[in-house]
Chains A and B, each alone.
Chain A
Amino acid sequence: RKEVEQDPGPFNVPEGATVAFNCTYSNSASQSFFWYRQDCRKEPKLLMSVYSSGNEDGRFTAQLNRASQYISLLIRDSKLSDSATYLCVVISDSWGKLQFGAGTQVVVTP
């Protein structure tokens, strides 16, 4: 079983709509969580950290559910520029090594 699992999508979203997707992780001792964004043929870049109480950054909201071992990302008022692959990242060890999910593709259409 993979340590971090994501629905690969694609999630096809009309411009202006809301989209949400989850990521599950297998290690209950995981301590840090992030969402990275990767545009086509580009390198991943940090989108946001995920805090226990949940957090927002503009149109993006991240949630953590430790009991069910998943994190979520919600994008409101989707823009064409939000089209990308969103990578779920979990840190579970003292070295701080990142474990990546395979990514969820989001396609925002006009």
Chain B
Amino acid sequence: DVKVTQSSRYLVKRTGEKVFLECVQDMDHENMFWYRQDPGLGLRLIYFSYDVKMKEKGDIPEGYSVSREKKERFSLILESASTNQTSMYLCASRLTGIAYNEQFFGPGTRLTVL
């Protein structure tokens, strides 16, 4: 069974803290993605990675960085958390290929920055 896991379901941090969100997939997928989801705005792509060590900016990368040292793990880093980064963060993975394959999502991390 396909599995994408995220390190925490709920997280509360203070302004200025460095925050690490971890995502692990067990499907040997090449592509991994980080989104944030806010009411009325839908899912917005923060960063994506097409393979190990590779990363590309998405639509809203400001204030975030990522790391992909191993194929199964994709980390999202908030260098200095701010209140406007309070959101639901969703990780996803996808098998690469000629056709655009289904993206599988993790359960999400609800981050609150105080």
Interface residues in chain A, defined as those with a beta carbon under 8 Å from any beta carbon in chain B: 4, 8, 32, 42-46, 87, 91, 95-98, 100-103
Write 21 A-B pairs (CB below 8 A) sorted by A numbering: A8-B40, A43-B105, A43-B106, A43-B107, A45-B105, A46-B102, A87-B43, A95-B48, A95-B56, A96-B31, A96-B94, A96-B100, A97-B45, A98-B33, A98-B45, A98-B103, A100-B35, A100-B42, A101-B42, A102-B40, A102-B41
Residue interface bits B83-114, CB-to-A below 8 A is 1, else 0:
00000001000100000101101111000000
B58 contacts the other chain (CB 8 A): yes
Q: For this complex, into which size category does the number of interface residues on chain B fall?
A: 20 to 34
Chain B residues with Cβ below 8 Å from A44 are 43, 90, 105
Question: Nearest-CB distance from B21 to chain A (Å)?
Answer: 14
Given A44-B105, A96-B100, decide whether A102 and B45 contact each other with a Cβ distance below 8 A. Answer: no
Residue of B whose beta carbon sits closest to that of A102: B42
Q: Is the CB of B43 within 8 A of A100?
A: yes
Chain A residues with Cβ below 8 Å from B41 are 102
Residue of A whose beta carbon sits closest to that of B90: A43
Residue of B whose beta carbon sits closest to that of A45: B105
Residue of B whose beta carbon sits closest to that of A43: B105
Question: Nearest-CB distance from B70 to chain A (Å)?
Answer: 22
Q: Is the CB of B48 within 8 A of A97?
A: yes
Q: Is the CB of A42 within 8 A of B100?
A: no
**A100 vs B42: C-alpha distance when bound (angstroms):** 6
Q: Which residues of B (1-49) have their CB < 8 Å from a CB of A?
A: 31, 33, 35, 40-45, 48
Please tell me which one of the listed residues A87, A91, A96, A97 contacts residue B42 in the complex, with CB atoms under 8 A apart: A87
Chain A residues with Cβ below 8 Å from B107 are 42-43
Most buried by B among A44, A87, A91: A44
Q: Is the CB of B103 within 8 A of A46?
A: yes
Chain B residues with Cβ below 8 Å from A43 are 90, 105-108
Chain B residues with Cβ below 8 Å from A102 are 40-42
**A87 vs B33: C-alpha distance when bound (angstroms):** 17
